[in-house]
Amino acid sequence: MKRIRIKEVLQTSGTNQEILVKGWVRTFRNNQFIALNDGSCNNNLQIVVDFNSTPETTLKRITTGACISVVGNLIASQGKGQTVELVCKTLEILGDSDAEKFPLQPKKHSLEFLREIAHLRFRTNTFGAVFRVRNALAFAVHKFFQEKDFVYLHTPIISSSDAEGAGELFRVTNFDIANPPKTENGEVDFKQDFFGKPTNLTVSGQLEGELAAMAFSDIYTFGPTFRAENSNTTRHLAEFWMIEPEMAFFDLNDNMDLAEDLLKYVITYAFTKCHEDIEFLSQRLLEEEKQKPQIERSELSLIEKLRFCLDNEFERVTYTEAIEILKDSNHNKKKKFSYLIDKWGVDLQSEHERYLVEKHFKKPVILTDYPKEIKAFYMRQNDDGKTVGAMDILFPGIGEIVGGSQREERLEKLETRMKEMNIPTEELWWYLDTRRFGACPHSGFGLGFERLVLFVTGMTNIRDVIPFPRTPKNCEF
């Protein structure tokens, strides 16, 4: 007999048909009712065991966490709480789970505890929902770009340039670390290393992405990215996934349009595809919020927040306008910011970003045209000589979810800027070649995938939306 997934079983009505299901026991109540879950959906299938005809030894082995296989008749439920239930004919224990040692109990566990048993947390309602949503979002990203005929490009994981300027790097080597080969000067001799030069894990696929965009017009990458920053926050990981589209002939406005479309598309997809999961997560968040004092609670539920984000245009403001808004805000005048806004040119702190998104506009905000001093070398210089064509998308509760720009395609301006910022032009000769041979205006951005998952699931710690988080001092599993 062919196994049926529980999601499918729950969609049918009980017609006394014989079926086979397999899954893991969530709880065994009353020596009679098994809540069985196989990960296909958040809801469990209730198995009704006849304890009179089932051997005592088998009953004892039906414990939380055990894996079982059940053949039985699917009927309309005799009890409340579910529409159908499976009356057990034969039950086989596929894998025992020692109740004394299995750490998951049929009760609420703290997210911190579950993080320590990340290998088992998939078997909880919350993480089941989170990772099904994550899957839907990842698929939707590909669907969006494929429908638009973008080319999915695999940029390298190992990189030899440290000129990308996007943070601390993880060194890649096969040297004996305790005893690396040295030159006559006593320095580490990288000529003898695997690649013959120092190499690192990638911090961005953007520069390579630009090369491909100068051939395919529209490309995107979606892969892991590594930053060795000593960041201990709820929104940073040492290993995370990033989506980086790069489009020839796109100016900054086209870039913003695409980013906004992408975000709305994938959120809509996950919302439709995983409605029950998001419903569950929304409810979970509501319970969580009840623990907080009234003032800290959010005005909108998760579902309302997602709807609101989908139904409204993102607010587009320039850095200069944002500074004016912040400077004139009562918050600034009453000196409620830790860092007061006094002059044009300062970098915005997260308290300022939060004020703009959560208090002033109350919706996603796209900030554009930042001062060139606080942005990367490759961003296109505006005619005012002060700003660059940058755009950051800020989301409520998350902060920066997208960072992008129109790229500087004019060779002379790019080289000058690189020299000003001490970026070695020789090392990036291949990057500069795109400006030498058939350069064109182009744009792109980076979308932090886990930050997107945070927003859609309503989780608050980024370590809870990636299966096995890598953070400073933590690389378990």
**Least gap, CB of 101 to RNA (angstroms):** 8
Residues 254/117, Cβ–Cβ less than 8 Å: no
- Backbone φ and ψ of 228, nearest 5°: -95, 25
d(CA 272, CA 472): 36
Provide, rounded to whole angstroms, the least separation between the CB of residue 185 and RNA: 29
Comparison of 193 and 389: residue with beta carbon closer to RNA = 389
Cα atoms found within 13 Å of the Cα of residue 327, Cβ hemisphere only: 11
What's the min distance (Å) between Cβ of 216 and RNA? 22
DSSP 61: H
In terms of CB distance, is 16 or 185 closer to RNA?
A: 16
The answer to whether the beta carbons of residues 170 and 156 sit under 8 Å apart is no
State the alpha helices, DSSP H only, in 178-251: 206-216
CB of 272 vs RNA, minimal distance in Å: 24
Return the number of the residue (118 or 188) whose C-beta is nearest RNA: 118
Measure the CA–CA gap between 212 and 198, rounded to whole angstroms: 25
Q: Which of 90, 110, 457, 421 is nearest to 283 (CA)?
A: 457
- Measured from the CB of residue 313, what is the shortest distance to RNA in angstroms? 20
**At its nearest, how many Å lie between RNA and the CB of residue 153?**
17
Residue numbers at the binding site for RNA (CB under 7 A): 27, 29-33, 35, 46, 48, 51, 60, 63-64, 77-82, 85, 99-100, 103, 105-110, 112-113, 115, 166-167, 204, 227, 229-238, 240, 242, 347, 349-351, 354, 399-403, 446-448, 450-451, 460-463, 472-474
Q: Which residues pair with 101 in a beta bridge?
A: none
Beta strand segments in 324-386, E? 365-371
Residue 118 or 411: the one with the smaller Cβ distance to RNA is 118
Nearer to RNA, 31 or 312 (CB): 31
Task: Please tell me whether residue 318 adopts helix, strand or coil conformation.
Answer: strand
Nearer to RNA by Cβ, of 367 and 414: the residue is: 367
| 202 contacts 159 by C-beta, under 8 angstroms | yes
Measured from the CB atom, is 173 or 231 closer to RNA? 231
Q: Give percent helix, percent strand, percent coil of the chain, each to the nearest 5.
A: 35, 25, 40
Taking the complex as a whole, the smallest distance from the CB of residue 374 to RNA amounts, in Å, to 7
